[in-house]
Every structure is written in structure tokens, then in C-alpha cells.
């Protein structure tokens, strides 16, 4: 009876990108680390199992060195201590696994510093340095400055890098500070120099040439986050040159190429990753294999497994980064939704409060008008009633804007304006301003009627607000000129008051939002508003409202018809 629900649960898990139980990307990464750690030792030391250590013991040491890497992400401290102890044991019995441990031990120290504090990191780092010293110094040989430099540097560099990355955790930076690139470059140089400098004299090139190539290979990691493909190609070329002219440095520099491959796998698509994987396998085979007779299926699989490790780590890191970006975008969308909801709530409250009082004012004006008022009082009451109705319409339009301030659709933004003829609105504004004492000259050509209704409505409201500003700031008795001009691609409106007017002692109150409101209307249609002093000393306001092409006009008409709005 439970089988159908179990299958449904499994399908839901797969569709959500969550495999069954705990078998996640993290588990697969742990398994891959364990396999690659073991494969690295087998690849490097399988040819030496016939020496002081028998084959079964060499395989056992390979498992002891590689399998704990699967626990490194969860328990880096115990893993680092285990590898340090195993390094001392292998050194005492003469097992060549020490070569692998000197690679894995610095890695474990860096991971420990990345995930734990100094309470764990410092003792483990000291133990790792001591184990490295035991491996480097033969019985009866005194310690030298070079030995100390090598042992301390080999552990200190990854510890410092890990500690820096730990400090960057939680800062939500897509691109951390450039110090990370400097650390990568410094770590690459330190690793390349520390692991190759004893062999700089063994090749066919001068020491300075080998040192220059080693330094270049290490410094290239400083730009690997920005140019991973170019760095991978450069590391591959350096490896091929090292194999020809400084053979004993190639194995150490191989690690730098693997790092570049891992970073490349984070960002590239699968076809490019496959090409980079094939390139790295080919170069690694050229560097590692000296005699074609040594090529066996087992070693081929081991080499491919070793190169697979950075690819798996890189793809895992890329998936985690994508998840983090998605989570950040989702959080931003939720924050925006909450912000818009709060804006709408405030807008509704403002609408309810103002509409209540304006509505009461309109009702009282209507009641007084019907009660028998006559003469100038009746005209004033009618004007108050009409103005109140327009205020309520504008409030409804403002509420629509506040619901989504990012929406820039002309029909939605200008719907209250489109309920009346724009020409009538413009002439009514001129008449009102004239009645208030402002002398207005209106130039409204007949061809302006050919402009779309949305554009004409916005122009009328801008003229209305512009004349109101002239009355507020210049006062009654001032002179204003209003011009409307139709161009092939835009409707241009100009409101201008000439020189010779001065600010009266008392003017109408100003809320300081007139210019901003006009610019918002113009931006809703893709236009713009400019305001400033004119050449003759007056003030000029110019609004340019683009006229949409035939395709845009057809789309706007269809939208208006779909919503039942006037077109």
C-alpha cells in the first residue's frame, strides 16, 4: 500500500534536485576525495612497491593515506593529525607514501584553517611541521635553514590561505577582495618553489631559466579566478617544457595545473570541461610516464581518477555558488515584495484618509449649492465640487502608481488623465490661471490633436502643473506663455514666464514635488523634462514626450482594449 506514495516521494525529491536521503553532492564529493587520494598514491608510488615495502603493505599505506580524505570536510583536525602521524611512520619504515603525504598534509592543514579556529589549527600545524621535518632530515644530519624554510613554508602557506578564506565567510561577496588573488599567487609561488628548488640544477636549462618558469607557473594562479582557461593552457605549456628541460620539476608543477582545472570547472560548461579534462590527462601522462612499457590499465585509471578530482570539486563549488546566488535573489525578491506591500498599505491609508475628507468637502459643497446659493458663491461651490471630483480621480491614479513604482506603463499611469479630453484640460487650466490673475498666452496648434491620447494627456497635466508653479512662485500679475509643438517623433511642451516679474510678499504654498511629478509622468512615456532659467532672465519648463511607433501604438491600443480602457 505504501509503494505508490514512496515512488511519488522519490519523484518529488528528484524534481527538486534532492537525491534520496543523505546521498547529496557533499557525499559524492567525500567519496571522490577518498578515491582520488588513494589513486594519487597508487599512481605516484606503485612502481616502488617492489622495494623496501612489499606490495600489500604499499597498498595498505595508500588506503591509509587516501581514504581519510573522504572525512576531511567533516573532521579536518583528526584527519590532519592522522596524516602527520602516518608521515612519521612511513618515513621510519621507508614507504614511498611519504611523497603523497607531503601533498595531502598541507591540503588538510589548509582545510582545517578554513573550517576551524586557531585552537585546532595551531597545534595541528605545529605537528605537521614537525612530521615534515622528520621526513626531510636523515639520522645524523643537522638541521639547516633551507630545511626549516621548506618545512615551515609548506604548511604555513595553506594555513594562511585557509584562515583568510574563513574570515571572508558570510560576507556575501560575489568577488572577494583582491587579497584573495594575491594569496593564490603567493601560495602558487611558494608551492612551486618549495617543491622544485632542489632540482633546478638537474636540467638542461640554466638555473635562472628554470626559476623563471617556476615563478611564472606559481604567479599565474593570481589570475586563475578571472582567466581560468588561459591559466590552464599556460600551466600545460610550462609542464610540457619542464618535462623536456627540467624533468624533476614536472611532477610538482602538475598540482598547479590541477588547481587551474578545478577553477575552470567552476565556470565552464560541460563540453569545455570535457576538453580541459582531456588536455590535462594528456599533459599529465606526458609528464608522469617516462617509459611506454610502464603504461598499464591500472595506471591509466589511476591517472584519470587523479585528474577527475579537481573537476568534481570545481563542479561542486560551482553548484554551491549557483545555489547561493539563487538564494540571494530569492531573498531580494521577498524583500521587494514586502516593501511593495508596505507601500501599498500606506497608499491605501493615505487614499482612505484624503478621500474621506475630500469626499465630505464635495458633499457639503453640493448640499450648499442645492440649498439655493447664487451668484459668485454658487460658482465657487461648483468649482469646489468639480475640483474635488478630480482630486479623487488623481488619488486613484496615485494609488495605482504606489502599488508598483517600477511599472512604467503609460495607460496605467495616466488613466485618470485620459478620462477627460486633454485639450479641454489644457484650456481649463489656462482659464483657471487667468481667473487667478495670471496672464497666459496659449499656442495650441490643431495638428497636436494627431498625437496619441496618452501623450496629449501627459502634456496637459504637465502644462497644468507648470502654470501652477508659475502662479506659486511668480504670483498674480505675472505673464506666462504656453506652447505646444508636434514633431514627427515627439510632442514638445514649453511653459515660460518672462522677465520683469518679481516674487510677491505672499505666494501660494509649495510642496516642492511639482518638477519631480512632471518628470515622473514624462519618464513613464520615455520622455524627459528640463527646467531652468531662460536666456532673457525668465524661467522655462520644457517637456519632450516621444510618440510611439506604429508597432508600439498597436500594442498599447490592444492593451487598452483588453482592460476596457479608452484607447
Across 16-25, 381-390, 462-471, the highest mean pLDDT is recorded for 462-471
Query: Are the C-beta atoms of residues 42 and 102 closer than 8 Å to each other?
Result: no
pLDDT at position 150: 74
pLDDT at position 338: 81
Task: Check pLDDT > 50 for residue 504.
Answer: no
pLDDT band at 493 (very low <50, low <70, confident <90, very high): very high
Which range is least confidently modeled, 71-85, 353-367, 440-454? 353-367
Q: Residue 372: what are its φ and ψ, rounded to 5°?
A: 115, 20
Instruction: Report which of 495, 444, 443 is spatially closest to residue 474, judged by C-alpha positions.
Output: 495
- The verdict on residue 310 lying in a domain is no
Q: 352 and 228, same structural domain?
A: no
One DSSP character per residue, 305-363 reads HHHHHHHHHHHHHHHHHHHHHHHHHHHHHHHHHHHHHHHHHHHHHHHHHHHHHHHHHHH
Mean pLDDT of the residues in the chain: 76
- The verdict on residue 173 lying in a domain is no
Distances (CA, A) of 526 to 428, 449, 453, 545: 26, 20, 15, 7
pLDDT band at 506 (very low <50, low <70, confident <90, very high): very low
Q: 398 and 289, same structural domain?
A: no
3-state secondary structure of 485: strand
pLDDT band at 377 (very low <50, low <70, confident <90, very high): confident
Q: 545 and 443, same structural domain?
A: yes
- The verdict on residue 469 lying in a domain is yes
Q: 163 and 183, same structural domain?
A: no
Higher pLDDT, 174 or 485: 485
Domain that holds residue 57: 22-168
Q: 139 and 199, same structural domain?
A: no
pLDDT at position 199: 79
Q: 429 and 395, same structural domain?
A: no
pLDDT band at 499 (very low <50, low <70, confident <90, very high): low
pLDDT at position 325: 85
The stretch 193-201 carries a mean pLDDT of 77
Task: Check pLDDT > 60 for residue 19.
Answer: no
The stretch 359-387 carries a mean pLDDT of 76
pLDDT at position 164: 77
Which range is least confidently modeled, 34-38, 241-245, 276-280? 34-38
pLDDT at position 492: 92
- The verdict on residue 284 lying in a domain is yes
The stretch 37-44 carries a mean pLDDT of 76
The stretch 258-267 carries a mean pLDDT of 90
Task: Check pLDDT > 80 for residue 10.
Answer: no
Across 58-62, 200-204, 502-506, the highest mean pLDDT is recorded for 58-62
Last residue of a domain, one of 407, 430, 465: 407
DSSP 116: S
What share of the chain has pLDDT > 70, as a percent? Answer: 77
Task: Check pLDDT > 90 for residue 264.
Answer: yes
pLDDT band at 513 (very low <50, low <70, confident <90, very high): low
The Cα 104–Cα 162 span in angstroms is 15
Task: Check pLDDT > 70 for residue 401.
Answer: no
Tell me the angle at which helices 55-66 and 25-45 cross, rounded to the nearest 10 degrees: 150
pLDDT at position 85: 92
Q: 60 and 123, same structural domain?
A: yes
In the chain, what are the helix, strand and coil shares in percent, each to the nearest 5?
70, 5, 20
**C-alpha dihedral, 308 to 309 to 311 to 313, nearest 10°:** 160
- The verdict on residue 2 lying in a domain is no
pLDDT at position 413: 42
Task: Check pLDDT > 80 for residue 190.
Answer: no
One DSSP character per residue, 60-93 reads HHHHHHHGGGGGTTT-HHHHHHHHHHHHHHHHHH
Task: Check pLDDT > 90 for residue 420.
Answer: no
pLDDT band at 277 (very low <50, low <70, confident <90, very high): very high
pTM flag (> 0.75):
no
Q: 503 and 388, same structural domain?
A: no
Please write the tens of the pLDDT for every residue from 143-167: 676 677 777 877 887 888 788 778 7
Q: 53 and 106, same structural domain?
A: yes
The Cα 201–Cα 508 span in angstroms is 91
pLDDT band at 233 (very low <50, low <70, confident <90, very high): very high
Higher pLDDT, 210 or 354: 210
Please write the tens of the pLDDT for every residue from 520-553: 778 877 888 998 887 776 788 999 989 876 444 4
Please write the tens of the pLDDT for every residue from 84-102: 999 888 888 888 788 788 8
- The verdict on residue 5 lying in a domain is no
CATH code of residue 433:
3.30.565.10
- The verdict on residue 4 lying in a domain is no
Across 18-27, 68-77, 198-207, the highest mean pLDDT is recorded for 68-77
Q: 433 and 363, same structural domain?
A: no
Number of structural domains, the chain? Answer: 4
pLDDT band at 178 (very low <50, low <70, confident <90, very high): low
Q: Which residues contact 171 (CB under 8 A, 6 or more apart)?
A: none
Higher pLDDT, 45 or 260: 260
The stretch 510-521 carries a mean pLDDT of 69
- The verdict on residue 301 lying in a domain is no
pLDDT at position 261: 92
Q: 161 and 184, same structural domain?
A: no
Q: 278 and 219, same structural domain?
A: yes
The stretch 469-497 carries a mean pLDDT of 86
Last residue of a domain, one of 168, 192, 210: 168
Task: Check pLDDT > 50 for residue 21.
Answer: no
Task: Check pLDDT > 60 for residue 511.
Answer: no
The Cα 485–Cα 448 span in angstroms is 7
Last residue of a domain, one of 295, 328, 358: 295
Grid cell at residue 549: 511607433
Amino acid at each position: 500500500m505504501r509503494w505508490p506514495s514512496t515512488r511519488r516521494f522519490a519523484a518529488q525529491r528528484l524534481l527538486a534536485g534532492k537525491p534520496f536521503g543523505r546521498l547529496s553532492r557533499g557525499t559524492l564529493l567525500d567519496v571522490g576525495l577518498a578515491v582520488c587520494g588513494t589513486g594519487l598514491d597508487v599512481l605516484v608510488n606503485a612502481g616502488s612497491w617492489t622495494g623496501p615495502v612489499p606490495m600489500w603493505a604499499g597498498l595498505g599505506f595508500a588506503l591509509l593515506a587516501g581514504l581519510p580524505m573522504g572525512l576531511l570536510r567533516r573532521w579536518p583536525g583528526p584527519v590532519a593529525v592522522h596524516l602527520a602521524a602516518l608521515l612519521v611512520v612511513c618515513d621510519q619504515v621507508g614507504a614511498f607514501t611519504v611523497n603523497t603525504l607531503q601533498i595531502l598534509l598541507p591540503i588538510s592543514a589548509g582545510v582545517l584553517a578554513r573550517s576551524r579556529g586557531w585552537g585546532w589549527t595551531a597545534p595541528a600545524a605545529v605537528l605537521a611541521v614537525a612530521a615534515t621535518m622528520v621526513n626531510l632530515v636523515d639520522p645524523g644530519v643537522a638541521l639547516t635553514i633551507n630545511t626549516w624554510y621548506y618545512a615551515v613554508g609548506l604548511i604555513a602557506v595553506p594555513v594562511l590561505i585557509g584562515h583568510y578564506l574563513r574570515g571572508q565567510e558570510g560576507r556575501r561577496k560575489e568577488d572577494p577582495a583582491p587579497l584573495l588573488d594575491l594569496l593564490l599567487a603567493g601560495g602558487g609561488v611558494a608551492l612551486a618553489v618549495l617543491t622544485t628548488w632542489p632540482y633546478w640544477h638537474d636540467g638542461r636549462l640554466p638555473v635562472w631559466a628554470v626559476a623563471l618558469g617556476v615563478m611564472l607557473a606559481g604567479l599565474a594562479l593570481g589570475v586563475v579566478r578571472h582567466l581560468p582557461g588561459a591559466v590552464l593552457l599556460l600551466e600545460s605549456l610550462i609542464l610540457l617544457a619542464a618535462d623536456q628541460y627540467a624533468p624533476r620539476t614536472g611532477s610538482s608543477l602538475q598540482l598547479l595545473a590541477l588547481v587551474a582545472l578545478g577553477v575552470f570547472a567552476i565556470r565552464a560548461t560541460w563540453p569545455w570541461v570535457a576538453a580541459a579534462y582531456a588536455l590535462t590527462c594528456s599533459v599529465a601522462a606526458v609528464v608522469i610516464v617516462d617509459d611506454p612499457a610502464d603504461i598499464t590499465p591500472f595506471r591509466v585509471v589511476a591517472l584519470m581518477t587523479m585528474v577527475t578530482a579537481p573537476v568534481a570539486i570545481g563542479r561542486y563549488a560551482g553548484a554551491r555558488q549557483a545555489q547561493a546566488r539563487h538564494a540571494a535573489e530569492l531573498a531580494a525578491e521577498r524583500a521587494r515584495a514586502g516593501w511593495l506591500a508596505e507601500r501599498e498599505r500606506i497608499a491605501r491609508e493615505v487614499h482612505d484618509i484624503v478621500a474621506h475628507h475630500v469626499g465630505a468637502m464635495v458633499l457639503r459643497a453640493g448640499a450648499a449649492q442645492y440649498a439655493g446659493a447664487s451668484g459668485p458663491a454658487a460658482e465657487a461651490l461648483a468649482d469646489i465640487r468639480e475640483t474635488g471630483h478630480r482630486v479623487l480621480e488623481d488619488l486613484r491614479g496615485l494609488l495605482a502608481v504606489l502599488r508598483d513604482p517600477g511599472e512604467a506603463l503609460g495607460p496605467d499611469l495616466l488613466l485618470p488623465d485620459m478620462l477627460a479630453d486633454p485639450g479641454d484640460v489644457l484650456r481649463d487650466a489656462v482659464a483657471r490661471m487667468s481667473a487667478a490673475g495670471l496672464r497666459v498666452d496659449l499656442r495650441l496648434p490643431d495638428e497636436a490633436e494627431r498625437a496619441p491620447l496618452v501623450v496629449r494627456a501627459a502634456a496637459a497635466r504637465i502644462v497644468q502643473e507648470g502654470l501652477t508653479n508659475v502662479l506659486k512662485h511668480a504670483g498674480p500679475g505675472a505673464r506666462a506663455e504656453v506652447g505646444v509643438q508636434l514633431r514627427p517623433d515627439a510632442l514638445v511642451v514649453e511653459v515660460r514666464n518672462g522677465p520683469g516679474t518679481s516674487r510677491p510678499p505672499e505666494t501660494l504654498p509649495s510642496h516642492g514635488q511639482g518638477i519631480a511629478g512632471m518628470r515622473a509622468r514624462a519618464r513613464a512615456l520615455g520622455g524627459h523634462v528640463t527646467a531652468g532659467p531662460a536666456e532673457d532672465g525668465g524661467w522655462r519648463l520644457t517637456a519632450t514626450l516621444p510618440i510611439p511607433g506604429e508597432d508600439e501604438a498597436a500594442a498599447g491600443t490592444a492593451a487598452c482594449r483588453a482592460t476596457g480602457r479608452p484607447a
